[in-house]
Structure 1
Amino acid sequence: MKKYSENNGSYKKLLKAPYQLIIIMVIVVIIVTNTSIYGLYKIGFEQQRKRLTEIVQSEAVMIDAIINYQLKMDNIDALSDKISKAQSEAIVLKKLMYAHEKFVGFGDTGEYTLAKLDKNTIHFLLSHRHNEVDRMDSITIDSKLAAPMREALHGKRGSLVGLDYRGSTVLAAYEPIKSLGWGIVAKIDLSEIQAPYIQAAEYGFFGSIILIIIGSVIVLFFTHPLIKEIEESRQYNRMLFTKSPMGLVLTDMKGNMLDVNPAFLNLTGYTLEEVLNMTYWEITPKKYASQEHEQLSKLLNEGNYGPYEKEYIHKNGHLVNVRLSGCRLQRDGKSFIWSSVEDITEKKRYEIALKEASLVFEHTHEGIVITDADVNIIRVNSTFTKITGYTFEEVAGKNPNFLQSGKHDDDFYKKMWDTINAKGTWYGEINNRRKSGESFTTLQSITAVKNEDGSISGYVSVFSDISERKNNELKLAHLASHDTLTSLPNRMHFNDNLEQAIKMAKRRKNKIGILFIDLNRFKEVNDTLGHEIGDHLLKEVAKRLLECVREDDTVSRLGGDEFAVILTEIKESQDSLNIVKKIMHGVERPVYIYEHFLAPSLSIGISIYPEDGEERSVLLNNADKAMYMAKQKREERYEFYKKDL
């Protein structure tokens, strides 16, 4: 089967049209010119015939008149005296010959001839105009020559085209002179009559040729650009058909494929020869029969069908997802179906992947935020709403910085964006704020999404709420560094703080005081009243100690009934003594615990940095020694460390 577009000859007919028009012009010009010349020739011929007829008739009348006049003058009865009549004829002939000598003829070939019949011989009575036949004075009656004269001598009048005495074709008018039995002929060569018309025909022919050439040039001048434009348009349309990334196919109403483009061949896997010998139904799975009939019905009723989706059977046997639409075309009284076929295999895969990604997006336990290149929110998932309390409608188009809690400075965010711009991603912890105002900590990643050209199209942030984990970590850290009963820093925490205090005092050239405190007779409380009351007593002492020191000071429980205090930035030893007295006054007040009045008693040892040592262990050990000395007192149980201790 040939391609439909190549099968029709419309374009070839269009290319031939200018030349066919020129041929028609040639034929029309020739016909019109020849018809016109022939018509003019017929008119001229008829006028010449009438002229000759009138001339020969007038000459015949004139000769009859001369003869009758001569006979009257001679008083002769032509019927009774033949001799006298012959003499009269001779006289008349003489006069005619005299007149004939003065008359050369008319035109180039026109002349009169006068003759009489003597038995079977025609005798010409006047000399002929044409010298080459001057000696021809008679011919036989049965000769083919002198046809007009034979008619005249037979008593007929009229005109004809025939041979004269020379054998030349002439137009002649003939008339009998009955009184003498003569005949007279006025003739002219037919070639002389035809000559101007033949010349006109030649001029007309060459003029027609010139006009045809000019007309052809004009036709080609105006039609060539049009044909060129049509050809370019045809080539352009064919290029669009051939280069189109979408499959294009032309079928008849029965589904026979008449023309397809390369994209359709790539889509189905068949060659052009194979496709043009197939029908549309051969590549359509049977399960789509009902759908196809619905679309065909729509095509017949509305003139178009689709768009709709289905599958094609590839040459290799696998199914190809396609999207079709088309319309009905009419040409030469026949209907065709023009269809566009889009391969949507990748689109279907993308849709499935997108659906799966959407399920992950909506059901993941991490919050997800997607922004455009200007960091304006364009999408969030449901987990984002659960964590932050904000719905998508509330945050759409906003910059996510509204979530900032204020716990990070500008430098933190600058470094974060510098990392994103340099590496394309950032990962770390951020403290944000919920819609309720509550702060929460997230473990968050921010990734720049880039186009193929490297430009940024947006950002994706995935975060987890690690507030509970952070709280647990803080609790564990607190437990590791604080006393579980009193929540005061434990020995390890106290040692760290003391190290830091020493470094700061050394840098600032300040003094610090270390108080080593023992709760007197605490063992007796535990043994007599029980551990529960003892624990309450320890917590109350811890509380009172915190109330007596400054905000920057550290109160720690070292273990059992022992406490320690770091007094930072004291100028003189007396400053520490003031705080010691405040502690003793504040802590040693009676306390009511479970219907028991208890009066706590403290023993306090004091060491001063740097006088009593510059190392943590030395300072604490010296304060401990001073505390033991203080326990020996009955009143004011505090003691500064002295080297003699």
Structure 2
Amino acid sequence: MTKVPSMNLPGISADDSLMLLRAATELSFSSILVTDAQHRILYANPAFCATTGYSPDELEGQNPRILQGPLTDKSVIEKLRNDLDTTGHFTGSTFNYRKDGRPYLVEWTISPVMDESGKPRFYISVQKDITQLQAEQSTGNLFIKAIDAAYDGIFITTADGVIEFANQGFEIITGYRPAEVVGLKPSVLKSGEHDDAFYKDLWGHLTSGVPFRAMVVNRHKHGHKIHCQQTITPVKNALGEISHYISIIKDLSDRVFEELKLREQASHDGLTGLLNRRAGEIELDLSLLKAQENSSPFCILMADIDDFKAVNDTFGHNRGDDVIECVAGVLEKEIRKTDKAVRWGGEEFIVLLPFCGLEKATVIAESIRIALASQVFDEIGQVTLSIGVTESRNEDTPTSILDRVDQLLYDSKRGGKNRVTAA
């Protein structure tokens, strides 16, 4: 256990040692909080006040629980209490709330300072705001995938105009593979169609921090001209300085529209026209990201055709395909325009319902179940669906929410089929 330390540093007087230790605390980039044994705040350093928005006077005498809110993980707080009661030390992370109500993800440690009798006299907490780090780690790859899958050409340059990134859409439009243009300047696309006044206007916008939009004639790798709708947007760093430019180009030629049709076919199921599993996985990733960023949950339903193997075995795969197509039609008719229906595999379907609570999602699921059950197929008769429905949670990953809805679907099967189970 930590005892109250001596403030004497080797070769330095006690007063100077105390002054240096206090200066180190005041200048620290990490948030530091000191409480007494009853967890009343005695001291908060400037970094802590800057992070939370509270002044030292507002914090003094308060319990740190004033930083807790709806997203604060209760199990983490319970672990904190248990750890301090047993080992005296705690390390963890959860969401705290600033004075203005905005949440932030914090990682922190708590250590006791013991008195001569071995009892806690103070607690020292060292904290770090890891919101941005967590966002970068969890969404970086997702953003790259989403940008790379975009139909429009996207490329990013430094402030000096050197290309650092180009997506697959850029290759479709210009003919240049991303690896060919990274390190070059956008002038590689210059067609000679625009005069000096055009480029003066372009740079006048950009250096002022204003996006530039225009119809631009670029030159394809193979020499022909491509008429593009182009937007260039300056990106500023934390100091307000332009650090990058993001360019988006849209080729309006018939050739590109044919390319887009191929891309559309690649993301949709050939039998039903619904999104295929690969596209559905991307949509699920994006739904989770939006829900976490906007603190707005969504719902997911998973549906499976009851006794479908018997239909295939008895009536053949063609009749089975008829049933699958019919289910897809029911889904598209009963869901909202903003919802995403996915053929997840075989006779299994998923629907993503953004900005939708569990109660409303359950109503939609019931309408789907009833609509299919009310139909009678020649020779086959009635075909039904078992459906599971769940609402997203703050801590959800694609795997966790899929496992949960899959279990609810299984509960519907086990409960007699042709039913909806929601939780």
TM-score, length of structure 2 as denominator length: 0.42
Q: Greater CA radius of gyration, 1 or 2?
A: 1
Q: Which has the higher contact order (CA 8 A, sep 6+)?
A: 2
Bigger helix fraction: 1
